[in-house]
Amino acid sequence: MHHSLDPLGSCSSVSWISNGAVLTTSSARVDIQALSHSVIRVRMLPPSDEHLRLPPSFAVVQPGRPIPAVTGEERTDCVRLSTSSITVEVQKHPLRVSFLRPDGTAVAADSPAHGMGWTERGAGCYKRFAPGTHFYGFGERTGFLDKQRTAMTLWNSDVNPHTPGTDSLYVSIPFFIAFSGQSAYGIYMDTAARSAFNMGRPRFMPWTSEIDLAPLPYPEVDSEEYWFGTDEKRLDYYFFAGPVIPDVVRAYSDLTGRMQLPPLWALGYHQCRFSYCPEGQVREVARSMREVDIPCDAIYLDIDYMDGFRVFTFSPRHFPRPAQLMSDLREDGFKVVTIVDPGVKVDSQYPVYRQGRRKRVFIRRPDGRVYKGRVWPGVVAYPDFARPASRTWWADNHKALFDAGVRGIWNDMNEPSNFAADTGTLDETALHGEPGAEVEHAYVHNAYGNLMSQATQEAFARLLPNTRPFIITRAGCGGIQRHACVWTGDNSSWWEHLMMAIPMCCNMSLSGVSFVGADVGGFMDSADPELVARWTQMGAFMPLFRSHSMIRSVPQEPYALGEPYTSICRKYIKLRYRLLPYMYTLLRQCAQDGTPIMRPMVYDFPDDPATHIMYDQFMLGSHIMVAPVYLPSAAARPVYFPRGRWANLETGRIIESIGEHVLVQCPLDQIPTYLKEGSILPWGREMSYVGQREQELEVIDIFPSAAMSEGVFSVYADDGETLDYKDGKFGFVDISYNYRARGRLALTITSRDERYRCTMGVGVVHILGLPAAPKRVLLGGAPLFRVASRDELDRQGFLYDPAAGRLTLGLHVPSKHVTVEACF
Ligand code: GLC
């Protein structure tokens, strides 16, 4: 509440530092520094040294690029600091910070009444926002896309089931994007402690009552004000100037790091269940997948593979020959991913625990004894992943799994979860860190998942060198994308959760975590086959595509559903494999510059107000729009089409929109998906698993637009499993069209494979939205002949379908120096 903020007071002195200024008041020191022309760091530190006992950042890896030129100016009432794109204006009496765009508009201005200050728990800041501002990001949250008028606590928690009323979940990312409808900026508060945001949620009614309500975890704000704060006695935030949403997302991921390229198989379909056990059941899943012709790359072993839930062991009874099992599965194209929970069973006969004690790797209580909690194995000790030595010890323990043939690690329960405490987690006073330099759990809590995943990364680096890690985590904080992909934890087999996965994953994506997905079919409860079929359709277009289900729930595997559901799942899982060249290219782009893979409509269409709070459809890259069906028995759904032409991904049928909702038919075997005008979409081959067949671009869809008379898409390719790409061993197949000269459409396809041979076969090219048949078509200067039917396009020739407005070219050439010219 307002009165609980101890304000900063006035600035009594200013000194200039490289790229910034240090201002002092009676209760704080405020450092303001430009890290680039559009990123400003603001730090409020207590005058004493108490903050020095807080841990350094777990999230920030790149606090600045080449230092920009900053100009500074001090007046009696204010200090100004300017880069080429933003001016920080600090009012001195009392100290208030605001950011001015080049046109003079102030954004993220401290509230005149409060600004920054100390709270009972830590530190916080009040800022103003313009009415109509939308807020996106905040990591993993239930609810809709826009968090305007929402108050949130960020404290990693193992909650199940979760509902719209659930506050904290497993991943906490104190980052948001504020979008006014015209421009965007972002703020990242760098903390791994509990933090809270109140984005203009109105006051509660001031009724008096005898009931003694618990105090709110966050201060109240007025309706044009927001607040963010942390339990740390320091406030360290970064302001990203934008001015567009993609700039903010990229700058945030620049600061907190990029995802590493996972193995290509990680983009395939993953089948999981709590638990496939004993080993015969795992074999049965694998056999059924192949028998029923459902592509699949990964099978997961949940906790029951272990010996009494002891990490890094196999149950001698249920998994007596893990190496044999995994080698048989490998023959069949499956990778095995095992769950690894942090809790180590307290058992004096168990070598991992005994060694851990000897090496003093566990989190301790303030009295120096090992901290104990309770998870699946019973009483457990928790490794202190904040210590490098503990991480290395943990990493080395993976030998037992990797030697047996495990190729992916699933880090769960790493909030960390503790069934023995009412809080569900560790005591905040438990201690991390090296002896003599301990830090309380309260300040490390949200980073525990990051540190655990970092230890797992080390396991791959030490034990499987030159193999790309596949690590999936439940918990994390800012920067988790550097270490692992994330699934959204224990959702339920509810239609509401199918829908919620859209805004949830979009907000994760905007928070830097692009490789993300929700359990397909829903985890808790039993799913009916229609829900699984609809969810599989959507999952096929989401970055991480894993089906998972709770113990004792009805089987949710695609082959167990019965018809027509099994066939619908097959159709979309197969489609997913054909999308891999496109998806892998998006993944690579994200690893390069942080561009999100899956994103809300507002990311691509910020000028269209209808998209600003849109939560029930999304973009996969900038080319594909997906409008999932999230209601039972729905035979149609309204789909919003931003202005322009859109081609149905399956039928090629074109919708021309002025920016409107259209009721689209969607029988059970169809999910509305569209290709945006101007796009190029490469389709790969159908496969039962990644690497089963050599990749080819079987089909390329090209949808030239009137406005964009040329386009290019470069399909990324590398070996998909080693780190050789870091030495430049990758290539591209460049596909481009030029429709500038009316009456002539030129198309070129060529591979750049100097460092990695990526030339692949090109089958058929569809050119969509063409009003007339070409008079002639030349391939490499030689005429292509018109054929009479689609069947004849398995060899060279062309066919024009006037009803669909589609020209199909049968090319069947390698992707090297291909030139096609169509004359109208
Ligand atoms: C947790 C996980 C879930 C897993 C279960 C058993 O609930 O979130 O995915 O199946 O633990 O390990």
pLDDT band at 207 (very low <50, low <70, confident <90, very high): low
CA-550 nearest atom, ligand 1:
10
Mutation test of ligand 1: which of 412, 415, 497, 547 has the most ligand atoms closer than 8 Å to its C-beta?
A: 412
Is 236 in the active site?
no
**The pLDDT of residue 5:** 85
- Is 489 a pocket residue for ligand 1 (Cβ < 6 Å)? yes
> Which residue, among 233, 257, 307, has the nearest Cα to 55 in the 3D structure?
233
Average confidence (pLDDT) over 321-345 = 98
pLDDT tens-digit map of 420-438: 999 999 999 999 999 999 9
What ligand 1 atom has the least distance to the C-alpha of 275? 10
Q: Output the CA 425–ligand 1 centroid distance in Å.
A: 16
474 ligand 1 Cβ < 6 A: yes
Q: Distance (Å, rounded) from C-alpha 447 to C-alpha 342?
A: 13
Tens of pLDDT, residues 486-520? 999 999 999 999 999 999 999 999 999 999 999 99
**Structure tokens of 386?**
């904040």
Is there an atom of ligand 1 within 6 Å of 302 CB? Answer: yes
Ligand 1 atom having least distance to the Cα of 490: 8
Which of 140, 162, 523, 525 gets mutated to test ligand 1 (max ligand atoms within 8 A of its CB)? 523
CB of 310 within 6 A of ligand 1: the answer is: no
| pLDDT of 819 above 70 | yes
Using the mean position of ligand 1's atoms as its centre, give its distance from the Cα of residue 490 in Å.
7
Distance CA 649, CA 640 (A): 15
Buried b (16+ CB within 10 A) or exposed e, 689-727: bbbeeebbbbbbbbbbbeeeeebebbbbbbbbbebebee
Question: If you average pLDDT over residues 655-677, what whole number do you get?
Answer: 97
Please state the rounded mean pLDDT for residues 616-645. Answer: 98
pTM over 0.75: yes
Q: Mean pLDDT, the chain, as a whole number?
A: 95
**Ligand 1 center to residue 274 CA distance, Å?**
7
Closest CA to 306 of 325, 284, 278: 278
Q: Which atom of ligand 1 is nearest to the CA of 523?
A: 9
Residue 590 pLDDT level (bands cut at 50, 70, 90): very high
Q: How far apart are CA 297 and CA 264, in angstroms?
A: 10
Choose the weakest-confidence range: 95-104, 161-170, 287-296: 161-170
pLDDT-based confidence at residue 1 (cuts at 50, 70, 90): very low
**Pairwise CA distance, residues 524 & 521, whole Å:** 9
User: pLDDT of 131-146, one tens digit each?
Assistant: 999 999 999 999 999 9
List pLDDT tens digits, range 151-196. 999 999 999 899 998 999 999 999 999 999 999 999 999 999 999 9
pLDDT of residue 193: 97
Spell out the residues 6+ positions from residue 767 whose beta carbon is closer than 8 angstroms to its own.
Answer: 702, 703, 704, 737, 745, 747, 806, 807, 808, 809, 822
Q: How confident is the model at residue 3 (pLDDT cuts 50, 70, 90)?
A: very low
Question: Residue 457: pLDDT band by 50, 70, 90 thresholds?
Answer: very high
User: What is the predicted pLDDT for the residue at 121?
Assistant: 85
Instruction: Report the Cα 67 to chain-centroid distance in Å.
Output: 29
Distance 486 CA to ligand 1 centre (A): 13
Q: What is the mean pLDDT of residues 583-594?
A: 98
Cα dihedral 408, 413, 416, 422 in deg (nearest 10):
180
* Cβ–ligand 1 contact at 339 (below 6 Å): yes
pLDDT at 210: 62
Beta strands in 35-111 (DSSP E): 39-45, 71-74, 78-82, 87-91, 96-100, 106-107
> Which residue carries 């494999």 as its tokens?
577
Q: What value does the mean pLDDT take over residues 468-485?
A: 98
Q: What is the mean pLDDT of residues 304-310?
A: 98
For ligand 1, atom 7, the nearest C-alpha belongs to 490
For the residues 343-353, what does the mean pLDDT come to? 98
What atom of ligand 1 comes closest to residue 413's alpha carbon?
1
Q: How confident is the model at residue 204 (pLDDT cuts 50, 70, 90)?
A: low
Identify whether the C-beta of residue 489 lies closer than 8 Å to the C-beta of residue 169.
Answer: yes
Question: Where residue 126 falls among pLDDT bands split at 50, 70, 90?
Answer: very high
**Is 412 a known active-site residue?**
yes
CA of residue 160 to ligand 1 center, whole Å: 10
The reported pLDDT for the residue numbered 208 is 56
Q: Is the CB of 343 under 6 A from ligand 1?
A: no
Share of the chain above pLDDT 90, in %: 91
Distance of CA 591 from the midpoint of ligand 1 (Å): 28
Top pLDDT among 739 and 560 is at 560
**Residue 140 C-alpha to ligand 1 middle, in angstroms?**
17
Average pLDDT over residues 541-560: 97
Q: Is 274 in the pocket of ligand 1 (CB under 6 A)?
A: yes
Is the shortest distance between the CB of 303 and ligand 1 below 6 Å? yes
Establish how many alpha carbons lie within 13 A of residue 478's alpha carbon, considering only the half-sphere containing its beta carbon.
31
Summarize pLDDT for 54-97 with one digit per residue, the tens.
Answer: 999 999 997 666 677 899 999 999 999 999 999 999 999 999 99
How remote is the CA of residue 249 from the centroid of ligand 1, in Å? 30
CB 401 within 8 A of CB 312: yes
Catalytic residue among 225, 254, 279, 490: 490
